[in-house]
Amino acid sequence: MSYNIIETRNLVPDVNLLKVEAPDIAKAAKAGQFVILRIDESGERIPLTIADFDADEGSITVIYQVMGKTTRQLTTLKTGETLRDFVGPLGTPSDIRKLGTVVMVGGGVGVAPVYPQARAYRGAGNHVISIIGARNEEMLILEEEMAEVSDELYVATDDGSKGHHGFVTDIVKDILDSDQQVDRIVIIGPPIMMKVGAGVTAPYGVETLVSLNPIMIDGTGMCGGCRVSVGGETKFACVDGPEFDASGVDFDLMMSRLSIYRPQEKEALESYNKKCGGDCKCH
């Protein structure tokens, strides 16, 4: 079985959107879950968090950053072409319920998985405050979409080209220092950003959740590649997560594990670029 590509487009430099026809997945998907895709028979399996789903259209949307060989190869695919495998929904859905005020924080490509959660939290009756950030204005994604599903939206850029000049965590701290009641904070983005965010919220005692992105292979808990340490216990992000209480996550261990295969990833990308020039679908 193959999966038709409905839409593919570039959002910002090295960040692309991919919409795939997958009606069974779209009917079952919930905010916080992910899929694993494979381009062709010899391709690697890569996990991508679901950025949007439409049961009526039968579509799943993912947003990915071009970093390695497979994501580079994904950019060569066009509307009407197919993926060999597209499996999901995987992972435990986010705990969406009425809490009161929920602060959603997305950094870089992390804004993509924040979007369906913000929509779901607001749909459950929460007051949703969203904070999105990027290195600069050019790298911001889904700003209009986030505004539509949020009661309040704040923007931060590292260089000050739009919104707050600084980090998303600066705005989180400002909100926590105000008189506003906050019942939950969800932070999704680069591991270092989530680590810093967890450190910022810890003194305030507000429940803080993060979505972890360790190395993953089968997505069913069998391989153990996605193991992370949470509260001193080993958890598998693919089945126990990907969402966890930030206060118990060993971010340093996760970041060290993420770099294990970096030499092989670099070699694979260099080989692909050398062979294809970035313009073909060979592997």
Please check if 238 is assigned to a binding site: yes
The pLDDT tens digits of the residues spanning 176-199 come to 999 889 999 999 999 999 999 999
13 upstream amide cis, omega within 30 of 0: no
Write down the domain spans for the chain: 3-90, 94-211
Token digits of residue 144:
């209009």
- Name which CATH class applies to 3-90: mainly beta
Q: What is the mean pLDDT of residues 206-214?
A: 91
The pLDDT tens digits of the residues spanning 108-124 come to 999 999 999 999 999 99
pLDDT at 171 over 50: yes
Please check if 280 is assigned to a binding site: no
Q: What is the DSSP letter of 108?
A: G
Looking at the domain 94-211, which fold is it? Answer: Rossmann fold (3.40.50)
Please check if 117 is assigned to a binding site: no
The rounded distance, in Å, linking the Cα atoms of 176 and 173 is 5
The pLDDT tens digits of the residues spanning 59-83 come to 999 999 988 888 888 999 999 999 9
Tell me if 79 sits within 8 A of 6, measured CB to CB: yes
Share of the chain above pLDDT 90, in %: 71
Please check if 65 is assigned to a binding site: yes
3-class DSSP string for 155-216: EEECCCCCCEECCHHHHHHHHHHCCCCCCEEEEECCHHHHHHHHHHHHHHCCCEEEECCCCC
The rounded distance, in Å, linking the Cα atoms of 147 and 131 is 10
